[in-house]
Each structure stands twice: as C-alpha cells, then as structure tokens.
Chain A
Amino acid sequence: MREVAVVAFAQTVHTGHDTGLAEPELLLPVIDEVKRATGLKRFGFTCSGSCDYLAGAPFSFVSALDAVGAWPPISESHVEMDGAFALYEAWVRLQHGDIDTALVYGFGKSSMSDIREIMTLQLDPYYLAPLGLDQVSYAALQACAVNADRPALDEIVRRSRADGRANPHALDLPDPSGEEFEVEPLRPYDVAPVTDGAAAVVLAAGDRARELTGRPAWITGIAHRAEPHYLGMRDLSRSVSTAEAGRAAGVGKGPVDVAELHTQFSHEEPILRAALGLSGEVTVNPSGGPLAANPVMATGLIRVGEAARRILDGSAARAVAHATSGPCLQQNLVAVLEGAVLDQSL
C-alpha cells in the first residue's frame, strides 16, 4: 500500500442559516486556504462530494468547479455522497502511483430546503420513499432498536454542544433542554442542526507529503463497507458495516487517542463506539461533531480533517475518523490516521 497522508485541511465557519453565498462562493475560501497551506496550485486529482437534491439541480457539482479552476482540463471526479467518500476515491486514485497529490472537497447548504424531506428521496422508491418516511423518523426507529439511555444521550448532546461552542467553525448552540419529542424517542436536540458549510482536504503520497508538511497525518488504514438499504433487513441496534470497516482499517491495532464520528443523531454515538471497540477513555468528537455543526456532504470529510488536524498539530498520535451515508448508518467509512508510519516493508 502506498503511503498517503492528509497534509492540509480547511473548513468554513459554518452557519445555521443561508448567508446568501452560492456553493462555489462557500467553497472558494477553503480551497484557497489549502492551496496557501500547501503552496500547491494544481493537483494530480480532484474529487468532490455533494448532493444534487440539496440544491434541487442536476449536476450541481459542475458549477462548484468554478471554485477549483478547471481550465486547462483537470483530472476530476465526483461522488453523490459526503466528501469523505470522495476522499476514499482520491486515496484509491493515489494508490495507482502516477500522481502524488489530490484535492478533495465537500459542500452543502441544507438551509435551502427541508433536509428531512430531502433525505426521504434517498430511500428506495418502491418500499420506503412512498411512505414519506422522513430522516428523523427512521433515525428514531434506530434509537428505539438500540434502546438508548436518555441521560446518556442528553450527556452526549451537552458535551457535543459545549465542545462546539469552543470550536470557532461550529455553531453556537445552548445546552440541551426541553421535554418535547421530535419523533419519539428523539428530542429536537438529539438531531444534528441544519447547517451550511464546506470543507477541503489535500492528500499527498510518500515523500511529497513530507515535503508539504512537517508532520503528515498518515492514513494507515481506510475501508468502506455497506449494509442492506432496507431497514427491516438489518439489526438496527448494531452497525455491522462500521465494525467491519473498522477491522479492515486496523482500528484495533493500537491505542486510539481521539475519534471523530459522523453522528447526526445522539444515539449513533454509542452504536459507533461499540462497533469500533472504542472504550469510554477515547475522546470522541472534541470538535463538537455533527451535533454541533452538520454541513451535509461535508460533515464526514470534516471528521477526517478534524482527526488529521490533531495529528498535524501533534496533539494526538493515533486518531480514527468515521463517515456515514444512507439511512440509519447504512454504509460506513473508517480511516485510521497516525503521526508516524511503520516501515511498510516489515
């Protein structure tokens, strides 16, 4: 496996409302920031993650290329998923060996529409979408299946929002309060907030990574696994695909200092902790996580970026990043990032 590292990461100051910027305008500053951080103007490969249904327009990622500068033509691709999955494609592309750098970005403005309705459109069109099953409702089914402990969920939200208030990129949200349900057993604060934002990551391979930064965040393992789409075919109380991806990425091969998990609902944290075998000692989502800022289609990429940031600044030696897509944690990507790579020949 070729050594590949995160060498730069940037994200917007996310907002809970539409600031009037179009998607390429949201993206420009973060792409500019990673270009300045690395000194790179062109990349061997560019890959983005976004969702046409968020903008309500086909091929909406094409207009976002305005922020990249695609002339003369660049080698470019897109996933209709979170930017974390674009990062996976870029990592695979770098494994080919003929290029050394890649730019990855993700962006979304969930303020433009009703995200709960939009996420219904991702469900299968025969059995689930026609029921009008919305995003919070299917998450609530999972929260029931996991029989989540209410004080534990409250503490997860309280901790996430407090960490988010300390993160200049996340939203400023108050401590959770109120007894009403959004969809029982989920309360409104168990649901990640509506957020607009974008993020960008630069990957580099081998010595190129060492040239670009003093302490690259090496991706020592990365894997992506999927489960059946239909909710009733799965045991919703567990995340089998996260566990398999975590095993394939080698999460258990060493101590984990910090984990950034793509938890869009509070009950997902205990499910993911169990799937990844993270003890109570492991610091989860010190950035505040998605419960403090959820720029859809960038949120997963931000998990990779936040985990990498702690390697890049030397505050962690080994970090885990997780990203998800599909209803009720249907498919999951897990990456292990480390400050030092073991000799690959050993």
Chain B
Amino acid sequence: MPSEESPAAIHVLEFPGGYTRTTGPVIGRFLTELRDRRLVGVRTAGGRVLVPPLEYDPDTGEPVTDDYVEVGPAGTVQAWAWVGSPRPGHPLDRPFAWALIKLDGADTALVHALDAGSPKALRPGLRVRPRWRAATTGHITDIECFVPEVTSLVAPVRAEYRVTPGRALTRFLEGVRDGRFLGGRCAECDAVYVPYRVSCPACGSVVEEEVEVADTGTVTTYAINNLPDPRAPEVPFVSAYVLLDGADTPMIALIGGIPAHEVRQGMRVRAVWVPPEERTLSMTNVKWFEPTGEPDADLDDSIGGA
C-alpha cells in the first residue's frame, strides 16, 4: 500500500528547439503557399478539393492529383466550440472559438481558431477570413486566427437642436406646471382634445375654447416595455393611452404603482404629481398615473365621443 504521501517528482518530456519534420510535396506545397499568404487545396481524381491537402483521397485511398487550387481566403463556419478559458497552448489568450471552416472553393473544412469576441456572434454560415501573422514562416499558425467578415459597422450619430414647444403645447405645459390638464374644445365637432391644441385635426376649425379636464382617467390601451428608457422608472415599464375624464382623445402616459402584468384596459387611474415646488414647464411634473382602486370602466362608453 502506498504511504500517506507518495514520493513524486516532476518529469518533463520535451524536444528543446522543436522536432524537425519533413513535409513531403503535398503538405509542403500548402505550407509554402501559406507563407506567401495564399491558401491552396489539392484536387482528388474524383474532382473534390481537399483543404488542407492530403496525399490521398480519404474516400478512396487513391493518390491525389498534382492540381493545386487557390481557395478562400474567405470561408463559411460549419461548427464551432467556444473556449471560455483558453489554455496555455491555445492560439489566443482571450476567449475564442475553434471552428470548422469551409473555405470558398474547398470541399472539406479547415480547423482553426476563430476570434469572434463572443459566442453570440457564432452561427452556422458565418463568413470568416484569415488574420495573418506579421511574419509568415510556412506554418499553420501563419494564420493567427480567423475573424468574421465585416457585415455591419457602428456609426456614431449626434446632432444638437434647440426646440420650442409652440403656442399650443406651451399653453398645455403651463397647465401641467400648475397641476391642471388643459384641453381645447372644437365648437364644430363638440370634441375635447387633450393635450390642448389651437386647431381641430378633424374639421380644421380654429379651437377657441380652452377647457380643464380631470386628472383621473381610464386606460384605453397599453404596452409593456422591456427595453430601458431614461424617462421610465424601471424595466419592464408600462406606457399607456389614458383617456382623461372630460376628454375625447387619450393621452400617452406612464403607468406606475402597479406590477406591469396587472395593468389592463378599462383600469381607472389618477395622475401622480410631483410636489409643486419641483414643477417645471415639463411633462415630468406628472410622475406617472397609478390606479385609483375604482371599478374598471366600460371602454365602449368612455371612448364614445369623437
């Protein structure tokens, strides 16, 4: 029986300076072309192009022809394995993929490393190209790795504007600053538009009558948003059309104070205002609308007007 602590020694198997191998004419041709940054395959008697070249046709065992065909450099990924933690002998020291790559013009796949950034970038049919080493020597690692072809770019866009709200919106925001929702009534249509506006979108008349509507209303429709938005409290958040009591058109608003999946059409809501001393000429005066707790409204009745 071995003792508790068996004696052990480190034993290293190594060929200092490397092990010299001859390549033969077929593999030698591939490596020679590789040194010149060209990729070649060899044609079999049956007409298939083997990349990398072998001396024989793997299907028949027959010798290959003397016909070398330039392939690639681009190719298509067939299968891959994502290496999250590279090992010391691996070609890249950051996460990468091993890939089977069918170079354009080849009938077989080349195995190599693929610097794809993230496993999310990988899919069958991904188009890739070799990234060459600065100095090539005639070695499979003259290709440092493959990289995806350029299929998209990020274009930064930024432009600055100075906007004014216009007469109608300014008036509406003045109301919001004072804790009131203002609308305009079209005398022709007998419809109240909220937010306030100076002309009727239905008949084109000038709207002359300003009316104040309630800060309570009914949700007519809504959407649950799963993408963050700087104006929203959290993700997911609900944006909804709220038909304020006394208005004939719904207004878009955030819904809060209730889990997103509990929001429903017909739900009765009330505006939550920020304290008067914090108000500005802005819609942020309304934090959001939250449920009043009243029974749901019948939407057919409340949307009747316009």
Tell me the A residues contacting B by CB distance below 8 Å: 18-21, 53, 56-57, 116-117, 120, 125-128, 130-134, 137-138, 140-145, 180-181, 183-186, 227-228, 230-234, 236
Contact indicator A141/B81 (Cβ below 8 Å): yes
Contact indicator B87/A230 (Cβ below 8 Å): no
A126, B31: Cα distance in complex, Å: 9
User: Which chain A residues lie closer than 8 Å to B141 at the CB level?
Assistant: 130-131
Contact indicator B140/A186 (Cβ below 8 Å): no
Shortest CB distance B74–A (Å): 16
Which residues 4-23 in B have Cβ within 8 Å of A in the complex? 6, 8, 11-13, 19, 21, 23
Shortest CB distance B98–A (Å): 5
Tell me the B residues contacting A by CB distance below 8 Å: 2-3, 6, 8, 11-13, 19, 21, 23, 27, 31, 50-52, 54, 58, 78-84, 87, 89-91, 98-102, 108-113, 119, 139-141
Contact with B90, one of A126, A128, A132, A236 (Cβ below 8 angstroms): A132
Contact indicator A133/B82 (Cβ below 8 Å): no
Contact indicator A20/B2 (Cβ below 8 Å): yes
User: Which chain B residues lie closer than 8 Å to A228 at the CB level?
Assistant: 54, 58
Contact indicator B111/A134 (Cβ below 8 Å): no
A236, B51: Cα distance in complex, Å: 16
Contact indicator B84/A183 (Cβ below 8 Å): yes
Q: Contacts A133-B111, A231-B111; is A183 near B2 (CB within 8 Å)?
A: no
User: Which chain B residues lie closer than 8 Å to A233 at the CB level?
Assistant: 50, 54, 58, 108-109
A116, B66: Cα distance in complex, Å: 37
Contact indicator A183/B82 (Cβ below 8 Å): yes
User: Which chain B residues lie closer than 8 Å to A227 at the CB level?
Assistant: 58
User: Which chain B residues lie closer than 8 Å to A134 at the CB level?
Assistant: 87, 89-90
Given contacts A137-B98, A185-B81, A230-B108, 12 further A-B contacts (CB under 8 A): A19-B2, A56-B11, A126-B23, A131-B91, A132-B87, A141-B111, A181-B84, A183-B98, A184-B83, A185-B82, A231-B100, A232-B101
Contact indicator A184/B89 (Cβ below 8 Å): no
Shortest CB distance B27–A (Å): 5
Contact indicator A186/B81 (Cβ below 8 Å): yes
Contact indicator A140/B2 (Cβ below 8 Å): no
